[in-house]
Amino acid sequence: MARKNMGDEDLIRDARGLSRGCSRAHYAQARSHRRTRRIVKAALACVLVLVVAAAGLGAAYLGNINSRLRKNIDSSLLGTLSKRQAGKPFYMLLLGVDRDEARAKGSEYGSSEGAYRSDSIMLVRIDPQKKKATLVSIPRDLRVDMGEYGTQKINAAYALGGPTLAVKTVQKLSGIKISHYAEVDMDGMEKVVDAVGGVTVNLGVAVKDPKYTKLDLPAGKVKLNGKKAALLCRARHAYDSYGAGDFYRAANQRAVIAAVAKKVLSSDVATMTKTVTAMADMVHTDMSATDIVSLASKMRGMDTSKDIMTGMAPTDSSYVDGGWYEILRESAWEKMMERVEKGKSPYSSSDEDPTSGIAAASGSAKKSRTSSSDESSSADDSSGSDGDEGDVEPSFEGSVRVLNGSGIDGLAGRSADSLASAGFDAVAGNAAETTRETKVIYNGDDALAEAKGVVKTLGLDVEPIANDGSYVTTQDVIVILGSDQG
């Protein structure tokens, strides 16, 4: 079979066949030492040329990606960040800066850091060994003592002293040493989400914001492209009737970030690398592309339904010195950070979360005010686990790859046509080998609903299974048709 006509599984099988060639060469050596010596010399020469060429290209490629990722990262910031211990939990400061392209190129703002305040502030704890992540939002209007700059709202730290002062301020507030820093242009959030193929969130209530973002989204599970996800991360006025709109906006930001993490962690290393490349102009961090892909690879296999935990620093609103501020409830904050430091949810109960049941939750997570203390607010801002798979309703959208392993001519094509008619983006291909059992594999928690829709559309008597990394694909769902369909 010509390699250009091979499907995903064919290429994997072909690669394995090439590796078996090593054994055949070894057997040939016993038969013809002279012939093998010529082969080995030629092979070594080819490998040497390829390695040198690849190393040169790789260094140039990574150098370009890293220089883009490390924009705005200076020696002052690097000197402020603490060195982390390999395999141990560490903290990162994640800032969303409202520096979109139009503002940066305009005369009113320009590209200087001093013209902008951080629109979103999150302290993130990552535990690579236990495969857990915790996101704690800090209200941008939090009143803090900023040393020589006096009393300020915490989001002024970025404008007054750039990333370095932002890190120092959050370290002082939390008593935590921060090892890594990342900032996202809020305008770039659109491109980040599109880079992973969109995200799915659960909206506790309908989001209607006709005056500002123009969003009009229904309550429940909603699949968002980059533009809508970015607008949701800005839509505080959609929650004016519920109280402090900034709290709900921050919760939505955490939900979108958690949903992006789910998509990245469910992809293969090649796709991770492609995503990092696409994000290089939108995300600025002290971490290299290799660091990011390595960390994401270590976190693969995490239960994103309960091991991405989120919360908001506890505060009270108060009018002070002619302006509105958020005032930290210090005792509650200390208890929250003690829980975070132990790898637990920021909240001991979802009742502590003011946005529960209203703001967005990532993926198929459910809202619940009766979840246990160690499960509350995981993978969103309120809930425990995703619940039973049986509670997930079928969805008839998303991308599907149908592979024919049945030995029945045209079966994959006919199945793909049926799926396309139902609303899916479906393509057909051939499996590497025939198989008896039909399988439906979904790529990440968000795709379970699509997998159930595929099963229902094709009338299959199978239960969808999660991709554990064995299948390399960017599609939401893979169908491998077996001879049991004959």
| Predicted confidence band of residue 368 (pLDDT cuts 50, 70, 90) | very low
pLDDT of amino acid 437:
92
pLDDT reading at 479 higher than 90: yes
73-387 maps to CATH 3.40.630.190: yes
* CA diameter of the chain: 92
Please state, in angstroms and rounded to a whole number, the distance separating the CA atoms of residues 432 and 426.
19
Position 473 scores a pLDDT of 67
The answer, yes or no, to whether residue 233 has pLDDT greater than 80, is: yes
Take residue 33 and report the two structure tokens written for it: 């030492």
| pLDDT at residue 111 tops 60 | no
Q: Which residues contact 442 (CB under 8 A, 6 or more apart)?
A: 448, 450, 451, 464, 465, 466, 467, 476, 477
> Which H or E run contains 142?
none
In tens, the pLDDT along 300-350 reads: 778 877 888 999 999 999 999 888 899 999 999 999 999 999 999 999 887
Tokens for 218, please give them: 């229904």
Token digits of residue 197: 């193929």
Q: Where are the domains of the chain?
A: 24-69, 73-387, 399-485
Measured between alpha carbons, how far is 396 from 394 in angstroms, rounded to an integer? 7
**pLDDT interval class at 61 (50, 70, 90):** low
Question: Which residues fall within 8 angstroms of residue 293, CB to CB, at 6 or more apart?
Answer: 269, 272, 273, 276
pLDDT of 11 over the 70 cut = no
Cα(414)–Cα(163) distance, integer angstroms: 55
pLDDT at 454: 94
What integer pLDDT is reported at residue 1 of this predicted model? 47
Percent above pLDDT 70 for the chain:
74
**pLDDT category, 160, cuts 50, 70, 90?**
very high
pLDDT at position 406 over 70: yes
Q: Helix count (H) and strand count (E) of the chain?
A: 13, 20
CB 113 within 8 A of CB 280: no
Answer CATH for 399-485 from 3.90.226.10, 3.30.70.2390, 3.40.50.1000, 3.10.20.30: 3.30.70.2390
Q: What pLDDT is recorded for position 362?
A: 62
Calpha distance 298→127 (Å, rounded): 10
Confidence of residue 370 (pLDDT cuts 50, 70, 90): very low
Mean of pLDDT over the chain: 78
Helices (H), 91-141: 101-105
Extract the tokens encoding 435. 């198989």
Q: How far apart are CA 243 and CA 135, in angstroms?
A: 22
As a whole-number percent, the residues of the chain with pLDDT over 90 amount to: 35
- Average pLDDT of span 56-78: 77
DSSP string, 170-188: HHHHHT----EEEEEEGGG
Three-state DSSP class for residue 348: coil
Alpha helices in 101-235 (DSSP H): 101-105, 156-174, 189-195, 226-232
pLDDT value, residue 75: 93
**What is the arithmetic mean of pLDDT over 446-472?**
87
